[in-house]
A and B are shown apart, each in its own frame.
Chain A
Amino acid sequence: MSELLKEALRREIDLYSPIIHLFSEKKYVFIEVPYFRKRVDIVFASSSLKNLYAVETKIFDWRSAVKQATMNQLFAQLSYVALPDWRIGKLNRNIFEIFRRYQVGLISVRKDAEIVIPARRNGYFNRKHYRLIKYVLKNSITHHKPRSIGDIIHASKKESRMFKFLQTWSD
């Protein structure tokens, strides 16, 4: 099996570990955060939960990732899409303009993760949505036991119920 094919078969969950290390300075990492009948792939938070960064991961469908990332701007100060680096290499340059136009950041993931287009704050931040997510995250810190990154990857692959809302912090 070629290296490219192995890369192509990676699941979104396989992108998590490098992304979590990219934001290692953030105190909290939340996976699969429920948000209006959808789930945000990863949310990073500062120690006081004041600053929230959201990341949507995709292997192929950059459009739906950008769409979700723009929705995440309602509660997150910064919002990103993470794609495998080989996928980014195949994107038309015009598409990068779409990321810039919507102030959505782009993260390239291979063995490590790298910010290719920085995210920017825009005027769509909504206090009500921010407070709602902050409340959910705060509850999670209170009620859920933190797990290691390895546990998250394992639980995700098993798709167990506990994976739906696990919390960890990077080492």
Chain B
Amino acid sequence: MLQKKSHGCLNFYRLGPTKEKALFKKHKDVYKGIIIPAHIASYFSKFCAGFIGSLQKPYFIDPITYIFARGPELIQRYLKDRKTGRTLRDALGGKKKGEIRRSYKKIVEHDYRSIIYDVARMKRALRPSDFTSENKLDEFVNNVVKFQLNKLSKVPEKYKKYERYASKESKKIFTAPNFPIFVVPPYFYFNSIEKEGWYQVNLTMIRKTKEVLGKGPRIFSVIFTSCQLLSKESKRIIDDYGKSQSDGFLLWVDDFSGYRDLRVLRIVKKFLKSLAEVGKDVIMLYGDYFSILLGYFGLKGFSCGICYGEHKSADQDLDVEGAIPPRYYIELIKKKVQIETEIRRIDIPKEFPDFLCSCAICQRKSDPVMLDDFESKEHFLIVRANEIKRYNEGLTASEQSKLFSELYNKYRNEPYFSPLAHLNNWSKILLED
């Protein structure tokens, strides 16, 4: 059997809450680049432009156009009682939603405008038929593309004065426009390839984006669909997207994660392998450790949030009330556990010393229960970088498969960490062609 070797792995992180800024700055060397969601780029444009400019790392903007084709409630905010601050509920006890969230209002009303503004006002979802007018289509694509190229590319005024000082010292300073590494055409979730559906709209969006850009920046198109359709229509999807004028692909399989069952993992692996044969880079838009393993089958890179956001569904409600509780990533078994409950109960140093980590953060605080949110994310960044480094340095698929199999057999009955089926699944899939 041919030994599967790594093809190199690029990891991107999605910009999230502003307090993550310090993490991105402190650990610049552990990631390839950053993804900025369009509504964040719009609402916090000055912050993002300054942040990206200071980091000098590759970035691109996720236009998140798909969200306007889902129900309008996804971008509406919860209504709260002004006195108590509690969320208002309807007769059935469901949370009530109101106007568009502030973070989306700006992109709808000022940046995308056109058809997006119209449907938001009508409080309905976008439909494929909304793009039958050539004018509306052109206007929409133009706005989305220009937004990506221009929104964060200009150096904020406050940095321009340093150019004068730097030139006096005969030193260089970066004040040139900071363009994204590629442009992402508007994209929408499709669950069929019928003629009048989103699938055809997506392909049209790619063509129109190329018309707007000409010989300019590269285009990476998003393929956002369900696992079932990947299984059913992979050849057609690969043919059509392969022939499109995309320079690469961003793959998002709805609600997919490496922790799903083996049948699902095989479908995604098979599709990816065939897509990679087109000869263009494929990056997983939401990925976890399994995305590193998919590198053996042609995946070039993946992205996620810092210790969150490793999988996403089309209709995931973005308004999760309250912060995500801090979690600790156990490198050996590739699992995250909640610090406040699970880590507090498990006593890793005493019961599972194998799980102790040697990163700089864990060396300072040997019991993970002592880590705060910032530290647990730092630990994740460092550990993930080490995982990718080992992969890039030539760790083979069969070596990883053997390790996962041993770990599964050793810990499968430990209820603290259940389920661990992913280790068994990964062990098997790595040995398959």
Contact = CB atoms under 8 A, between A and B. Distances in A.
B413 A98 contact: yes
A66 B413 CA distance: 11
A126 B417 CA distance: 21
Contacts of A161: 89, 92-94
17 contacts: A35-B341, A36-B338, A37-B325, A63-B413, A63-B415, A64-B419, A67-B416, A67-B418, A70-B416, A71-B341, A71-B345, A73-B345, A74-B344, A94-B413, A102-B415, A161-B89, A161-B92
Nearest 7 CB-CB pairings of A with B: A161-B93, A66-B415, A63-B418, A67-B415, A63-B415, A71-B341, A36-B341
B415 A70 contact: yes
B325 A36 contact: yes
**Interface of A (DSSP majority class):** helix
Interface in A10-60: 35-37
A160 interface: yes
B81 to A, nearest CB: 15
B21 to A, nearest CB: 26
A124 interface: yes
B415 A74 contact: no
Contacts, number: 46
Interface of A: 35-37, 62-64, 66-67, 70-71, 73-74, 94-95, 98, 102, 124, 126, 129, 160-162, 164
B345 A70 contact: yes
Contacts of A102: 415
B93 A162 contact: yes
B375 interface: no
Interface string B312-328: 00000000000001000
A36 B419 CA distance: 19
Interface in B332-361: 338, 340-342, 344-345
Contacts of A164: 93
B340 A36 contact: yes
A136 B418 CA distance: 28
B225 to A, nearest CB: 29
Nearest to A102: B415
